[in-house]
Chain A
Amino acid sequence: MTTASPARTAQRGVRRLGDRVFSGTAVGAGIVILLLLAAVALFLITQSIPAFTVDPEDVSILRGQSFVEYVGPLVFGTIWAALLALIVAAPLAIGIALFISHYAPRRIASVIGYVIDLLAAVPSVVYGLWGATTFAPIVRPFYVWLNENLGWFPLFAGDVSATGRTILTASLVLAVMILPIMTAICREVFLQAPRLHEEAALALGATRWEMIRMAVLPFARGGMVSAAMLALGRALGETMAVTMVLSVSGVISVELLTSTNPTTIPANIALSFPEAYGEGVNVLIATGLILFLVTFAVNALARYIVNRRSAFSGAN
């Protein structure tokens, strides 16, 4: 294509200096990313090894517990808070995504999309400040009511916290924070549902909900699951909202409304790291490694589901 003369085709193998430099830089940048991630993994692993071997009596942060005893409540708290947030956020996110994709008039839909992006743009420290000083007092009367009327149920048992800064408040703030990402992905998936299926359903006399149930939701199931998992990954790693909203005692407890709350790994690191020294730092890095592995697993699973769906869906 480049030339017709056979004498010149032999030169095709020769590459210009500029080309070599440029492609070399591009490959180099890609390899930097590989190295960066390898470095993250390497540093986290080597720095956390001392935490497993150290004598618990020597590290002030462990307070004489073994590492496993120390990290157990943290892992519980992290997963518990993230799951609560997901349970609250998932139905809302799916509802809003449906509203944007199939209910709202198009002009309003784009405005709503902007509003949801706005939620995503607010920094987490602002959510934390708002959650601790404004939101917690607002929801406290509701907690008192729950405790009085449904106190027999283990989740709502115990003495209601005087400040309202409980694990439930933290999870609700987390839920608001993970809503945008979940809404955005669900909306994309809903919009990709085959238009002809939708129109066929409507033409056969289906109501709007029946159309959504039969043509949109089955198509979007994989996307919704992976959106939920990506949101879960976000909630697992979120630090500031939990650090600022929760009053921490580091126990395993499923009571949502009391002032003795489990804490999460990121919140614990943020609170303890500035004062940590010696092996205490290694212990905290080891908890960070556990967090990294958990979020990695959740995210990888989510990506796997997304990729499988895009490979097999009929839309493309």
Chain B
Amino acid sequence: MTATTTATTAHVNSLTTGQLPKWAPWAILLGSWVLVGGVFALMNTGGDPGDFNVGGTMFLGTVLFVVLLTVFSTVAENRRKAMDRLVTALVVSAFVVVLIPLASLLYTVLINGLTRFDAEFFSSSMRNVIGEGGGAVHAVWGTLLITLGATVISVPIGLMTSIYLVEYGRGRLAKAITFLVDVMTGIPSIVAGLFASAVFVAFFEPGIRMGIAGSVALSVLMIPVVVRSSEEMLRLVPNELREASYALGVPKWLTIMKVVLPTSIAGITTGVTLAISRVIGETAPLLLTAGITQGLNTNLFSGQMTTLPVFVYTQYRSPGMYPDEAIARAWAGALTLILIVMVLNLVARLVAKIFAPKLGR
């Protein structure tokens, strides 16, 4: 029956009848934008063309598009397909909605950050700077040293714990550690700061601030991340490799050192780099533990230290008598911070790609 109809009317394809053509959604989208834009333009007649409401046009136009698409689809197709098209439109617009803040954030940081992203910013500290000039060399050093301290504390503990969990862990202790590592991932960063601050106050005098306290606070946040990622990587090492090594009479610890770790070292490095990039942007715990200073201090064990995030925060929070200069420095600091984090992420990905073990084919 259908076959004969198609034969007589050759230009109708029975597979696509009762469907909106492929270009229909795009046409409806463009149409609704133009329509809403026209309405806004009419409301704006006589006014300044710069007042044209672009955001409103895009937003209401998209809403109109979703409604029109659903209505057209209900009429031309059926309710089930209309529902499908509605959800597709919503899902795609959810994605676009999230892209907007990301684009805006990166754009603002780049534009505002470049005004003070100069040699002076990386060669001078804030000592004796009131208005123009000044820089973040002390904050860059503080960030590097405190993060290095946190890494030195966290990586051995985290890595050995993950080795314990994967290679040795049986029974209650392993379960308890797994659970507590999960708990630790959820510790709010400010609570880690309070903890480190309380510990150092207990051992020194009240109100003590020093770089190493910041490192301790950061390692509370970093250890669980290192444990999680290394554990995952160690579990990926195939058991055949371990068994082959045992069969050759190699002791367990040498098997771990010479077979398991080298196989998974790329993944572990990636995990550690990502963990560093996570804690390097922490502000709140360092505000409580490492303190704030205007000058360069490279001694982790005495005196206050400023890190880049804290530098950004203080420049924004207490701009002093020349707020424009301070805000410009804050943006430059934010740009530096984002660049550091991006580079770390990139390095992590490259390491994972280049040094990945050639398992299987």
Contact = CB atoms under 8 A, between A and B. Distances in A.
B91 A103 contact: yes
Contacts of B199: 39, 43
Given A39-B199, A281-B206, A285-B198, A112 B105 contact: no
For the residues of B in contact with A, the DSSP-based class is helix
A266 B186 contact: no
Interface residues of A, number: 86
A295 B190 CA distance: 12
Given A96-B94, A236-B188, A295-B187, A26 B194 contact: no
Interface in A129-151: 129-130, 132-135, 138
B220 A40 contact: yes
Contacts of A37: 180, 183-184
Interface string B291-323: 110000000000000000100110011000000
Given A36-B223, A125-B313, A288 B190 contact: yes
A154 interface: no
Interface in A90-119: 91-92, 95-96, 98-99, 103, 112, 115-119
A64 interface: no
A33 B181 contact: yes
Contacts, number: 263
A129 B182 contact: no
A200 interface: no
A125 B101 contact: no
B169 A99 contact: no
Main SS of the interface on chain A?
A: helix
Nearest to A25: B160
Contacts of B92: 99, 103
A84 to B, nearest CB: 16
Interface string A30-45: 1111101101100110
A273 B288 contact: yes
Contacts of B345: 117-118, 121
B189 interface: yes
A21 B168 CA distance: 13
Contacts of A44: 191, 194-195, 198
Contact of B104 (A31, A125, A130): A130
B207 interface: yes
A29 B156 contact: yes
Contacts of A210: 80, 83-84
Contacts of A118: 102, 345
B161 A29 contact: yes
Given A210-B80, A266-B188, A295-B188, A123 B94 contact: no
A179 B288 CA distance: 27
Given A207-B80, A269-B194, 9 more contacts: A22-B257, A29-B161, A36-B223, A43-B198, A95-B91, A209-B84, A244-B316, A285-B198, A295-B186
Interface stretch (B6-14, B23-31, B125-133, B275-283): B275-283
A315 to B, nearest CB: 18
Interface of A: 2, 16, 18-19, 21-23, 25-34, 36-37, 39-40, 43-44, 47, 91-92, 95-96, 98-99, 103, 112, 115-119, 121-130, 132-135, 138, 176, 179, 207-210, 212, 230, 233, 236-240, 243-244, 266, 269-270, 273-274, 277, 281, 284-285, 288, 291-292, 295-296, 298-300, 303
Max count, chain B CB within 10 A of own CB: residue among A29, A210, A238, A303: A29
Interface in B51-100: 80-81, 83-84, 86-88, 90-95, 97-99
Contact of B88 (A112, A115, A209): A209
Size bracket of the B interface? 35 or more
Contacts of A99: 91-92, 94-95
A290 to B, nearest CB: 10
B190 A237 contact: yes
A303 B182 contact: yes
Interface of B: 80-81, 83-84, 86-88, 90-95, 97-99, 101-102, 104-105, 108-109, 156-161, 163-165, 167-169, 173-174, 176-177, 179-192, 194-195, 197-199, 201-202, 206-207, 220, 223, 227, 246, 249, 251-254, 256-257, 277-278, 280-284, 287-288, 291-292, 309, 312-313, 316-317, 327, 330-331, 334, 337-338, 341-342, 345
7 contacts: A32-B157, A121-B278, A123-B282, A239-B190, A277-B206, A285-B194, A291-B188
Nearest to B160: A29
A27 B190 CA distance: 29
B195 A43 contact: yes
Q: Which residue of A30, A98, A296 has the most chain B CB atoms within 10 A of its CB atom?
A: A30
B312 A40 contact: no
A18 B88 contact: no
A129 B190 contact: no
